[in-house]
Structure 1
Amino acid sequence: MTQNVLVLGGTRFFGRHLVEKLLEAGHSVTIATRGNTEDPFGEQVNRIKVDRTDETALSVAVQGKNWDVVYDNICYTADEARAAIRVFTGKVGHYVLTSTLAVYGVGSADRKEEEVDTTALEIAPSPVGQVSYGEGKIQAEAVFFREAPFPAAAARFPIVLGPNDYTKRLHFHVERIKNGVSFVMPNTEARICFIHEEEAADFLKWLGETGQSGAFNAASDGKPKLRELFAMIDRETGGSTIVLPEGPEGEASPFGIEDDWAMDTTRAAKAGFVFRRLDDWMPELIEHLARG
């Protein structure tokens, strides 16, 4: 079924892939961004130029418009979630929020959605003070699930990897291992999970098209120990991993976790989403970055 959709943040990384996949599926797509990043979509999409943190401007920009699904890649706080509810109530049938593995603490490779049950959390009006990225997403999820008059889903992603990753976290390791440069990591036995940028887009699209509600963990099949990931980089680059237990902050690995940090994806799998195998895409990505 063709849908009329709005994507908040759809010009780079997995947001761009999401727009591409929605267009390929025949959906009518509007993207809302500040207009700072060019996109390749031409006349295939409608555009709204707005800063989503400016509630008044966002409300004016969407006046008189309605969407079957809103995909929100750029909501980070309870205040932004509440603003979105005020703006989109009566204008949207289903809301899909990009969330994060960071809602969970480290210490397990099998975090389940119910361990952080945001449907049961009450968030105070306009929480005061800075909160962490993970806490901000917890609060945003809770606001949508408890306060929105429309159904909402949240995709809890781990670290998203791909050739277009502007954070260059995997790039950091590939370049250093390829060139024999050391980096700092506290525990190479810790297990971790990832998702490919295109798979993240596929998952968001699936949530919107199937009308799922609630929180869903989403990660590629495979939870390697960090030393196993580095051995893969060794093989693909011909380099050698040199890990130090401590050192300058600038030498610290972006994957430097102290204990296991990965998710159980059974809920999404039972609902019908088929995840890629990490081993099917990670070696190719490493090789691509090594050629880089």
Structure 2
Amino acid sequence: MSKICVIGGSRYFGKLLVERLRDAGHQVTVVNRGSTAPPAGVTRLVADRDDEAALTAALGTRTFDVVVDQVCYTPVQAAIAARAFTGRTRRYVMTSTIEVYDPATAALPPVPPSTPVPEESVDPAGWRVAMDLPWHDDAYLDAHYAEGKRQAEAVFARTAGFAFASVRSAHVLGGGAQEFTGRLAHYTGRVSRGEDIAVHAPALPTVFIHHEELADLLSWAATADFTGPVNACSDGPLDVRGLTGIVAAQAGRKAVHRIVPAGEKASPFSFDRHYAMSNARAKKLGFAFSRTTDWLPGAVAAALALPAAPTD
């Protein structure tokens, strides 16, 4: 049994992670702002992670074997957490994102479209950190989400107080009403209504992961001993036409595509640039992934079963 602290963990795959860790026999503590009660058998500490004094006070004299940070978006947040947990934990795992590889958001080494992007394409140990950017501005953060994650990883990677690992998640799907991004519902709604879907020509493949599989991987990462980034994606890249084909088959309708010029905004998951990740490192470390096409039809069926959303 390990003492594990989860920062966030109140919804979607974070909630599943907390339940999995508890059910595995670990002593789990969650730190959040108190809006959602944790599952039975889980300790909750109420604090705003952006308030270093409040976070430190809430932690008191507690120590942990592992911290899993679900809601770190900026280097400022990372620096606060690094100071608060140095001396309190031996291992720190941060949930990161596929967006760190997006070539539209940073000058990154080019990767041929047929080559899955490896972790070393973005090395947090050497990434520049700029604390003086307006990270507290919501609009700025939303526009610089990928850079915020890259710099947060960089802060933790340079922290000597604990071993650090990051889990770079693919696009997360599944969960029906819990899927708060609404991106799968965008497709199920438009296909069901016979509305066209804006796509690039050609649209490049991307990678996905089921919300339950991501919770499993984070639980595994919490108790493993690797360090550095690891990519988390199910086997089998899929482009937007493959995705809409699965949606159309489940809905009993035909998908209608509308081509948009390169550089113009298209539907979610229609990409005119390549950054589909490789999951080879996670496999080598011992995690077994499912195939996207094995779970995606069920996720689509769950989304189709939801009440119809307003047209957009």
Q: TM-score range by the shorter chain?
A: over 0.9
Q: Secondary structure at the match of 1:111?
A: coil
Q: Distance in 1 between matches of 2:128 and 2:302?
A: 45
Q: Aligned partner of 2:221: which letter?
A: L
Alignment of 1:102-121 (within 5 A): 102-106=99-103, 108=113, 110-121=116-127
* Aligned residue-pair number: 285
Q: CA RMSD in A?
A: 1.7
Change (3 A) 1:64 1:32: same
Alpha-carbon distance, 1:105 to partner: 2.0
Alignment of 1:29-40 (within 5 A): 29-39=28-38
Alpha-carbon distance, 1:261 to partner: 3.1
Aligned pair 1:285/2:266, yes or no? Answer: no
Alpha-carbon distance, 1:210 to partner: 1.0
CA deviation vs aligned residue, 1:121-171 (integer Å, no higher than 9, x gap) = 3424x2323461111111111111112421010000111111221111111
Q: Secondary structure at the match of 2:238?
A: coil
Q: Secondary structure at the match of 1:110?
A: coil
Alpha-carbon distance, 1:120 to partner: 2.1
Q: Aligned partner of 1:143: which letter?
A: V
The answer for the alignment partner of 1:4 in structure 2 is 3
Q: Aligned partner of 2:249: which letter?
A: R
Structure 1 gaps, min length 5: none
**Among 126, 133, 143, the residue aligned to 1:128:** 133
The answer for the alignment partner of 2:182 in structure 1 is 168
Q: Distance in 2 between matches of 1:187 and 1:38?
A: 46
Alpha-carbon distance, 1:241 to partner: 1.2
TM-score, normalisation: structure 2: 0.87
Q: Distance in 2 between matches of 1:148 and 1:199?
A: 30
Q: Aligned partner of 1:69: which letter?
A: V
The answer for the alignment partner of 1:93 in structure 2 is 90
TM-score, normalisation: structure 1: 0.93
Q: Distance in 2 between matches of 1:261 and 1:115?
A: 10
Alignment of 1:155-234 (within 5 A): 155-163=167-175, 164-187=178-201, 189-234=203-248
Alignment of 1:8-19 (within 5 A): 8-19=7-18
Q: Aligned partner of 1:120: which letter?
A: G
Alpha-carbon distance, 1:254 to partner: 2.0
The question of whether the paired residues in 2 share the 8 Å contact of 1:187 and 1:257 is answered with no
Alignment of 1:70-89 (within 5 A): 70-89=67-86
Q: Secondary structure at the match of 2:82?
A: helix
Q: Distance in 1 between matches of 2:160 and 2:300?
A: 41
The answer for the alignment partner of 1:57 in structure 2 is 54
Aligned pair 1:48/2:53, yes or no? Answer: no
Change (3 A) 1:189 1:121: closer
CA deviation vs aligned residue, 1:153-208 (integer Å, no higher than 9, x gap) = 00001111112211111111011112211232224531011011111111111111
The answer for the alignment partner of 2:256 in structure 1 is 242
Deviating beyond 6 angstroms after TM superposition, the runs of 4 or more aligned structure 1 residues are none
The question of whether the paired residues in 1 share the 8 Å contact of 2:240 and 2:270 is answered with no
Q: Aligned partner of 1:77: which letter?
A: T
The question of whether the paired residues in 2 share the 8 Å contact of 1:187 and 1:259 is answered with no
Q: Secondary structure at the match of 2:87?
A: coil
Q: Aligned partner of 1:280: which letter?
A: D
Q: Secondary structure at the match of 1:262?
A: coil
Q: Distance in 1 between matches of 2:258 and 2:79?
A: 44
Alpha-carbon distance, 1:20 to partner: 0.8
**Among 163, 171, 175, the residue aligned to 1:151:** 163
Q: Distance in 1 between matches of 2:189 and 2:88?
A: 47
